[in-house]
Amino acid sequence: MGMKLICVQILFLALKVGSFHLGHRNRICMSDTNESTQNGGLFRISRRNALKNSLFTFSLLPALISNEPSLANEVSDEYTVENILLPFNGKQIPFEKLLGPNGTLVINGKLDDPAALQQMPDIVSAVRTYGKDGLHVIIVPTDQGYFEADEDRVVKIKFYQFYGFGQYPTAVVLDKVDIVGNTAHPLYKYLCRGLKNPNGVSRITLNFEKFLLDKNGLPVRRYPRQLPLNQVKDDILAVINGKDLPEPNKAYINLWAKAKAEAERS
């Protein structure tokens, strides 16, 4: 009942705002000019403005309603490393079991994105270089953005055939999930809410964004796809050795600015 009452009150306010703008503009029309054609023209414009003001208020209804506390929102804020399950080969695997002993990289990957040709050799190199030191790499495919037409099993096969990526448990390709929006998988709700990018944006904006996690699964740094992993080796080594990360350099900030511009163009 409370929600219905709020909606009725907002509807009443919208109509009242619209009527105010219509009446107010009409009075201005009548006082500003004595030419009936101009009066009519201004009157018609005022009616449209009034309608737009009413519709603008109506457009707030979904947003206001969505701010109503809900069980879904409460649960999504409680995702942790301990209660997140990841889809792998048709089964739900505890996130904890896929974490590297000393650190983990989580990457939203796309075979159909041309950027994969540049990204994947760099990712495979990181696995070969740091996998023996306890770093795991998890690639998360999705149908969002560029459509990944193949089924999960074929996606895994192609990652391995094309790039040599897929040696469990150091190099894992998950089953496809959503990574943005209300349907985003709990993994990405956990990562994105826990660590915004330097542009102040939580959500994923491009394929092959990377999260570096410590041995406990806590996200400690986030990288744009424009930044090769061989240029963040100091960060990776710090995580592997349980040390604090070095301060991000100017190139890191600049590449995030370029990522923002690329996302806006795409």
**pLDDT tens, position by position, for the chain (266 residues)?**
444 444 434 444 443 333 333 333 333 233 333 333 333 332 233 333 333 333 333 322 232 223 333 333 333 458 999 999 999 999 999 999 999 999 999 999 999 899 999 999 999 999 999 999 999 999 999 999 867 889 999 999 999 999 999 999 999 999 999 999 999 999 999 999 999 999 999 999 999 999 999 999 999 999 999 999 999 999 999 999 999 999 998 899 999 999 999 999 87
C-alpha to C-alpha distance for 212 and 103, rounded to whole angstroms: 7
Q: How many helices (H) and strands (E) does the chain have?
A: 9, 7
Taking Cα atoms as reference points, which of 236, 203, 237, 199 lies closest to residue 221? 236
What is the token pair recorded at 253? 């900030």
Count CB neighbours of 123 within 10 A. 22
Residue 149's φ and ψ, nearest 5 degrees, are -70, -30
C-alpha to C-alpha distance for 60 and 72, rounded to whole angstroms: 21
C-alpha to C-alpha distance for 201 and 21, rounded to whole angstroms: 37
User: For the stretch 130-155, what's the b/e string if a residue is b when 16 or more beta carbons lie within 10 angstroms of its beta carbon?
Assistant: bbeebbbbbbbbbebbeebeeebeeb
Q: What is the pLDDT of residue 77?
A: 59
User: Is residue 141 reached through a cis peptide bond, with omega within 30 degrees of 0 on the bond before it?
Assistant: no
Instruction: Provide the Cα torsion 254, 196, 185, 266; round to 10°.
Output: -30
What is the token pair recorded at 7? 């909606």
C-alpha to C-alpha distance for 86 and 54, rounded to whole angstroms: 45
The reported pTM is 0.71
Contact 133, 238 (CB under 8 A): no
C-alpha to C-alpha distance for 64 and 33, rounded to whole angstroms: 41
CB half-sphere exposure, 65, CA atoms < 13 A:
16
* DSSP-assigned letter for residue 172: E
Residue indicated by tokens 């061989």: 230
Residue indicated by tokens 């990204």: 119
